[in-house]
Amino acid sequence: MDRTSQVTEAPDGRTLVFAEWGDLGGEPVFVLHGTPGCRLTRFPKVELVRSAGVRMITYDRAGYGGSLRHRGRTVADAAGDVAAIADCLGIGRFSVSGGSGGGPHALAVAALLGERVIRAACVVSFAPFDALGEEFFAGMDPENVKEFGWALAGEERLAAELEREDQRLRQRVAADPATMLDNFGLPESDKQILGRPDMAEMIRESTLEQTRHGVWGWVDDDLALVSPWGFAPAAIAVPTQVWYGTRDVLVPPRQGEWIASTVPGAVVRLNEFGHLGHPDADMLERLNWLTGAPLR
């Protein structure tokens, strides 16, 4: 059975495509991809996930990969899709983690499915645009400022611009996956991680898959991020870790500070790296925390 392209239905009948990685008998952890991304946007060292005793579940957010678009979706709508996948797999309770554009969606799952969520991790995540206002852009690379400007201009402008961005991204990745973010002023730590061979393979796969039916998942993510989220992060009642980096230019630290100060009892993990952190050590620590396992 191919566990990287499994299919189920959302509550409204939309197709959802998901994947499982690691220890299939282990503790279930949903890991929600960034923007753009898909179910193949994963931590590439599957053996580390397996060694942590984790059954990692990833899925194509609506409009990405093989999952059908949910036009007008809010961040909150991700909770129903995650619940549908968990039901399909016969999973009652689980933990959830989300990075970058997936961070708000992980918070939505924690807020709205709290009775099913054991623990949550929110990693280098955007904060609500309506909470920060113009401060949302403080310290952000001009490329991301430009993209959110397109989102604020509306769907038509955003879709046209992201079509062009997707073509440029595909060209860069085809030539060298390490250059996928060459138009951003990344710190050296992020550049080194993007240059890893295991990351290159994952980037190639996910870049081809995430927009194979168009850029609508990307469009709808951006629109949702600059719109009301549909839930209150301050209402989250499950144990939550908040990770952010002091040198992150994609999602600047001010956003992580807001989330950490707003989610009740948040456990803060601040590092001196950029957007990608220290992926191997960070992932192992995070998985151990999410499953309640002792640190190794």
The span from the CA of 199 to the CA of 258, in Å, is 30
Nearest Cα to 38, choosing from 16, 22, 53?
16
Residues 44-81: tens digit of each pLDDT:
999 999 999 999 999 999 999 999 999 999 999 999 99
Do 161 and 191 form a contact (C-beta atoms < 8 A)?
Answer: no
Stated pTM of the model: 0.97
147: which residues sit within 8 A by CB, 6+ positions away? 161, 162, 165, 222
Give the Cα-Cα-Cα angle 19, 22, 25 (nearest 5 degrees).
95
The span from the CA of 114 to the CA of 237, in Å, is 7
The span from the CA of 79 to the CA of 97, in Å, is 12
So what's the pLDDT on residue 2?
Answer: 79
Ranges of the chain with pLDDT below 70: 1, 293-296
Q: What is the DSSP letter of 230?
A: S
Is the N-terminal amide bond of 36 cis, ω within 30° of 0?
Answer: yes
So what's the pLDDT on residue 295?
Answer: 41
Do 120 and 54 form a contact (C-beta atoms < 8 A)?
Answer: no
Backbone angles phi, psi at 272, to 5 degrees: -95, 20
Q: Where are the domains of the chain?
A: 6-291
What is the arrangement of strands in the sheet containing 240-245, beginning at the earlier edge strand? 6-9, 15-22, 54-59, 27-32, 94-99, 117-123, 240-245, 267-271
> Per the structure block, which two tokens stand in for 82?
């995650």
CATH class for the region spanning 6-291: alpha beta
The span from the CA of 248 to the CA of 187, in Å, is 8
So what's the pLDDT on residue 212?
Answer: 96
Residue 161 host element (H or E):
helix 155-175
So what's the pLDDT on residue 1?
Answer: 66
So what's the pLDDT on residue 296?
Answer: 36
Cα separations in angstroms, 163 against 99, 174, 211, 221, 248: 23, 17, 9, 14, 26
